[in-house]
């Protein structure tokens, strides 16, 4: 079993009480925190900024369906992974779900393995996303520690300029560029020039 972060909650959105309760019980017994909602509208009304976890949403519900809910989450800037569940699956619906970046598409009736495996995949995706966000935050902090001149040199190096070209652009000596580059790499924790270019380039993007 994939261990979920403490704040990770499986949000189960389905108008069928039996499906909601059975999924909540199944996943709770596997150690997951769950929250159940009878409609997509109820879920969106309760959703807090920065909420962590994933969503299991029925494809067809009164009002907003699962795929529409995916779109509403993206509009809000919510990156929680979504699994679509349905008793009326078809190729077109599955394709639409995956085009909207669904993690999985589960057809009812499903056995225990399907939802559990889908949630584990959501946990992996969420862990990877949060890891990338943390890495980006560390890079931003490190880049913020550069002096103005170091930042200038880092950005020029990220453009692919060599030391002599950077020196000519800034009217300084190549040796001065080399000294600054060494300090920049130390501050950023860059192992080599490729690391430096990648980090400075992402900041500028």
DSSP 58-110: ESS-SSS-HHHHHHHHHHTT----EEEEESS--HHHHHHHHHTT-SEEEESS-
Position 204 confidence tier, pLDDT thresholds 50, 70, 90? very low
Q: Nearest to residue 53, comparing CAs of 11, 20, 97?
A: 11
Delimit the CATH 3.40.50.2300 region(s) of the chain: 9-137
For tokens 């929680």, name the residue: 80
CB 118 within 8 A of CB 140: no
Q: Nearest to residue 36, comparing CAs of 14, 18, 52, 58?
A: 14
What would the CATH number be for the domain defined by 9-137? 3.40.50.2300
For tokens 């400075």, name the residue: 200
* Average of per-residue pLDDT across 65-75: 93
Give me the pLDDT at residue 3, please: 60
Residue 130 predicted with pLDDT over 80: no
Looking at 2.60.40.420, 1.10.10.10, 3.40.50.1370, 3.40.190.10, the CATH number of the domain 145-204 comes to 1.10.10.10
pTM of the model: 0.66
Residue 173 predicted with pLDDT over 50: yes
The sheet that has 9-13: what strands, in order across it? 33-37, 9-13, 53-58, 82-86, 104-107
Distance (Å, whole) CA 179 – CA 185: 10
Delimit the CATH 1.10.10.10 region(s) of the chain: 145-204
Average per-residue pLDDT in the chain?
86
Q: Tell me the per-residue pLDDT of 45-68, one tens digit each, with 9 for 90 and over.
A: 999 988 889 999 999 999 999 999
């Amino acid at each position: 079993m994939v261990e979920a972060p403490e704040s990770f909650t499986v949000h189960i959105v389905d108008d069928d009480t039996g499906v909601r309760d059975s999924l909540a019980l199944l996943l709770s017994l596997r150690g997951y925190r769950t929250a159940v909602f009878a409609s997509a509208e109820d879920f969106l009304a309760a959703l807090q900024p920065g909420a962590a976890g994933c969503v299991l949403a029925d494809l067809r519900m009164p009002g907003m369906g699962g795929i529409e809910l995916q779109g509403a989450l993206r509009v809000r800037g919510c990156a929680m992974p979504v699994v679509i569940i349905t008793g009326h699956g078809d190729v077109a619906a599955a394709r639409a779900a995956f085009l909207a970046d669904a993690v999985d598409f589960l057809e009812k009736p499903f056995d225990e393995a399907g939802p559990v495996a889908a949630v584990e995949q959501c946990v992996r995706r969420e862990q990877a996303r949060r890891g990338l966000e943390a890495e980006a935050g560390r890079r931003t902090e490190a880049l913020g520690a550069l002096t103005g001149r170091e930042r200038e040199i880092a950005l020029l190096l990220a453009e692919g300029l060599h030391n002599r070209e950077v020196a000519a652009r800034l009217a300084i000596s190549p040796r001065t560029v080399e000294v600054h580059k060494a300090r920049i790499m130390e501050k950023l924790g860059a192992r080599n020039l490729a690391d430096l270019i990648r980090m400075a380039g992402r900041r500028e993007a």
